[in-house]
Structure 1
């Protein structure tokens, strides 16, 4: 796995002036997107005072930017309570739509399906699709679990779309959930717990609107395991749709794995002694997501389905994790995606400036921010990506197995 040669684009990270230019440029471009998001919010807000307050950003932002970076669905008053943080709303263009009804039949929804604060995000360099989302709230846990329980389909590679998954893709389901935040941090709730703490225990999760037509979901913890080398708490969980009223099972149960990385503080980065563990966790996630050995009919399954990943807001740690996975994949440290990877559409903001245009970390972060707001939120998280990649290329990431302690 070791490679003693550090690529030229990564060597640039040793220059403080280069890093300063990267940080400044990425911040400037995100401010432009933020202005466009702000201008788009008035489109769905009935309050005249709200619309008046957003007149300055509307007048100073290009109309094509407002349309491209619109967050009108997430800022709609009907959906505001489903956002964990008021300043993080998904782009309309790449948002994940949860099927609206008839879920027991696997029918797809229309564009006006159920709302969830989540975006389709594709690695720029590595090519893999992810679902980047905030941690569930009590009122969004059912919608969150529906993305695992029912078939799902990635958008087209060139034009991410809010259209919902097709029900015709047999075996194409999310099998892996990555959680990068503890449920409580510094005495504050960061993530709602949506599966039981005890092996064999079951909970019922009901739809947020109390619908009598939408099935509840029975959630059962099957097993737990610890991977010490990756600071990972691994849970295997079963989901079963149950008929409203009768609680009779509908269809077959679906099993997924929940992988919690427990050493990454909010607004910060892992301690130096935990960083090899983070690299091990990245590799563990990729390996387990592709493992179909425990399934009855592995030939019917997507060999590398999209991974659903969240921290608390689903932008800072989440973005850094995807960026790191992408660049490791692109350089052969993770399994490549199958088939041709079609380039993502160019940014309306134009290319990065020439002085940082060859920096793959800068490219990756800017691309992720095109797909979900504020990805890789903190400067320290940007630096962490450079540092971890350097660790890998100089051969300081030892081979690690996936054996753990139950």
Structure 2
């Protein structure tokens, strides 16, 4: 991470690595190189491909064999969007989940990028919050016995509607009525009790005469037949982001992102042993386009001190006990980006995300959105600083 931090500009100042003015031809150039590298990774998914044969290192880095077993294929929402073996989220009960650990290039934080649940993957998805989980260390998956019990996640970000264009994009796995409970059984062969999910609260910030931009729900998760207190999870659903596209209202997205980070850092209902700021689970339909764009923007904002919630520093009793730091990202087996892009933190961010989950930041529109929104946030920060001085 030091290489990214060494060239960051002060908050509000446009960094030298950003082309000024930003030209469409430059965005297309970045998209072309990132797409070319992604095509090589796709070739390496198949161990029989020439790329895999020529480079065993690439074959190992981009292997997706677990997701493609006969047992697990039906748990993937899309057959061409599957997690790499080395970064997939591993559950201690043995269930498969189409979700990946990704570490921000600029911001340095871990996040879980996931497809939206299917009816047959709800139990595995909810298990990710009830079971202790941990990111891979040096590309080695942790053993269940090595994961502290305090390593539990508590925040879900959903970036897709459940139905979009008459197509099911996400399964509604929690009740729509406050106080009601649904129970979900595990997949065949998974030795884990059913999971109960109760809707505790559901609110949406509405401005007069306007539709809400997001819905904030609180879920209580517990294993059926167990008597431990339920684990509270916040579900934050952003409503204005079409598939393969960009948010309709950027201001609402920035407010939402700030609200999400504040919610995740709220330890009011968390166990004392839990980390005060654990990784966030972020998903859209496939868990790559909108999800990757959100993660990239959040990383860039964090690294540059932009759009951050006003949080009090954690007290001594909230000192993190769970290890969410992990290892610094390893160099890509594909080598570095071309010299013209090696200082471009947006290009580096997107390429680093695609090293960890395929197709992250899926479209050129989403790539362009990263540049324009990041520049707009920097300019806004600069204006705010001038008005405060």
Contact in 2 for aligned 1:279/1:388 (Cα 8 Å): no
Contact in 1 for aligned 2:121/2:187 (Cα 8 Å): yes
Secondary structure of 2:245's counterpart equals coil
CA–CA separation in structure 1 for the residues paired with 2:367 and 2:111: 19
Equivalent position of 1:235 in the other structure: 217
Change (3 A) 1:341 1:164: closer
Equivalent position of 2:181 in the other structure: 202
Change (3 A) 1:165 1:258: farther
1:172 and 2:157 equivalent? no
Q: Which of 230, 237, 247 is 1:253 aligned to?
A: 230
CA–CA separation in structure 2 for the residues paired with 1:166 and 1:266: 39
Secondary structure of 1:191's counterpart equals coil
Q: Which of 250, 260, 266 is 1:285 aligned to?
A: 260
CA–CA separation in structure 2 for the residues paired with 1:55 and 1:329: 39
Change (3 A) 1:13 1:293: farther
CA–CA separation in structure 1 for the residues paired with 2:381 and 2:30: 25
CA apart distance, 1:86:
0.7
CA–CA separation in structure 2 for the residues paired with 1:270 and 1:200: 32
Q: What is the TM-score with the length of structure 1 in the denominator?
A: 0.82
CA apart distance, 1:168:
5.2
CA apart distance, 1:192:
0.8
Equivalent position of 1:66 in the other structure: 59
CA apart distance, 1:267:
1.1
Q: What is the TM-score with the length of structure 2 in the denominator?
A: 0.86
1:23-73 C-alpha deviation (Å, 9 max, x unpaired):
111011001101111x23xxxxxxxxxxxxx656655x5332112110011
Equivalent position of 2:367 in the other structure: 382
Equivalent position of 2:106 in the other structure: 125
Q: Which of 196, 200, 210 is 1:222 aligned to?
A: 200
1:91 and 2:55 equivalent? no
1:104-152 C-alpha deviation (Å, 9 max, x unpaired):
xxxxxxxxx3211111111111111111111111111101100111222
Q: Which of 355, 365, 369 is 1:370 aligned to?
A: 355
CA–CA separation in structure 2 for the residues paired with 1:262 and 1:398: 29
Structure 1 residues 14-93: aligned runs within 5 Å: 14-37=22-45, 39-40=46-47, 62-93=55-86
Q: Which of 276, 279, 287 is 1:303 aligned to?
A: 276
CA–CA separation in structure 1 for the residues paired with 2:82 and 2:279: 21
CA–CA separation in structure 2 for the residues paired with 1:304 and 1:187: 37
CA–CA separation in structure 1 for the residues paired with 2:21 and 2:122: 40
Structure 1: tracts of 5 or more residues without a match: 41-53, 101-112, 243-247, 400-406
Secondary structure of 2:380's counterpart equals coil
CA–CA separation in structure 2 for the residues paired with 1:179 and 1:347: 29
RMSD: 2.5
Count residues in correspondence. Answer: 359
